[in-house]
Structure 1
């Protein structure tokens, strides 16, 4: 095992205290489902009728069950594996994917054992991908704590991600051949999206189209699979699958585009994420791609682009880079990125048209609105 890069209590190989109440950002996991669902637009004010309140309660109860299962499923007998695999789970997360699985399950018979298992498998798959992403991006922070690779090194982080992928695969295998194929297809898209992001667009590719496809593969595919599993394992009508698949992929792209805008925001103590983290690591987010396009005809955009790229590649003072990032945040290209995110969210909602009016479609629509309105 590689030594830790910096002293940290997390480097201890002792298992976490299982008798303690797991806490993320001061909120016990057992009580977080209320906070999570409210943050996604599923609060009491949204649902007025008794039927809608029962629907909201089902989501809350399902989330509590998913949370308990996640803690159980990412536990390992090996001390190192146990500490490392639970590290990012206990650091927090929005649980967007299991929420979608539970939401779309209400189109059928609602929560059942298979739906809960599917929601857990999807979230563990997402969790595993974060360990690998942070290694590739050389990220120092994740969910407000030092990234796993900055605590234990690349090898432990990669192997932890692999262990979590294996655990997710075991859960999916219990759901049958169809679930295995869906998981494999989704995992293939996740890997291809990461590969295409790493390699970059070809000479004849449009950089913006290439970037949007990367987002669809890296983020949209897993969110789409989460929504699809809710339909499949709740016994909902088969024709409901396609609308939620399209919704999931499009809302996934919208989510990442909002992340591109949030990346330019002022530093926030809660997340621990520095302003312009993606830009500093050389990731060409949509505001930067739009700026490159504008620079072809706008001298002001060309000057800003030159300053950003010069400070990132050749280095510069923190004050100069922060000023350039703030200028990019105020530039029209950031507003264009917000507009693009809203277009994807609107298209996601439009995809739900074949579904009958219900608390599910109401909640999914509210969910799409919450995605583009969020600030973190």
Structure 2
């Protein structure tokens, strides 16, 4: 009996690992994937040239993304929202329905006109204050989330980003607010959650992107793929990408997979949230660029390229790095905060750091200015 139990656990681990590998390579679970076999739901159109009626055609297109998100008819999944290139001044977006396992919903920008919009260009979601510009204020973000009583002025009911579960976002550019593509589960933390972001640009004061605080789905990790993330502030809980987990022990599978992404930040590229418990991240062919190469003898401080500064007593970060390039003051947060990190290296992981900083085992030190790496700071077109 004990052998059977062990074999059963081994089979479960192998099956979970198989699904994890498939997910990391891009499983066909949403519309417009080449091998998509899921449910075919409704198609909804967003265009400022439409008549803003029912979104069923380009002619009838909604004028706002939020209107389309509220028009998805059910939680069966497989629904697609297609957006015409333009600038959409919108904030705190949320869908009325989640996607479904095997049939994710898709929010996609028609950047090349191949989906029928007849236009080419960026789909910009601008969350700026229309009269005053960039609005850096807690919970004022592209993706809706809030916690009532966070500060005295936050009187709205708590709202969780979990409503975005099993959605795919593609070909979108967002900025002007506290966070770009960032999902905070708030009062639904500890539940399973999956989000996929592809070919996007996420810019925010605090976070360019991130996910906090789900539990791992071994066969459905969140994935950020071929995307650019930039955060503009260096004070407190901030990063190009912020992650947080709910488990008290680092899970075997990742909460978030980063593939072919660029992370840019004044002080840290990837950070574990202050409120996080244990979190697992995998980064493949990513570029992490930090601008702080401070002089500590003059009072300068840095939290490192991969940051665990200010973590809670249960905070632990494990990161797998494969064929990545990093630049910044130090690889990890200097001092005891780095004790919260474990890591594995696969392939060639290069780092360019301040001359007085050591390089952890497995990383390859770059001695001369990495020209091509810093070229990647430019926002892709």
Calculate the TM-score normalised by the size of structure 2. Answer: 0.24
The answer to which structure has the higher strand fraction is 2
Bigger fraction of residues in helix: 1
Name the structure, 1 or 2, with higher relative contact order (CA <8 Å, separation 6+). Answer: 1
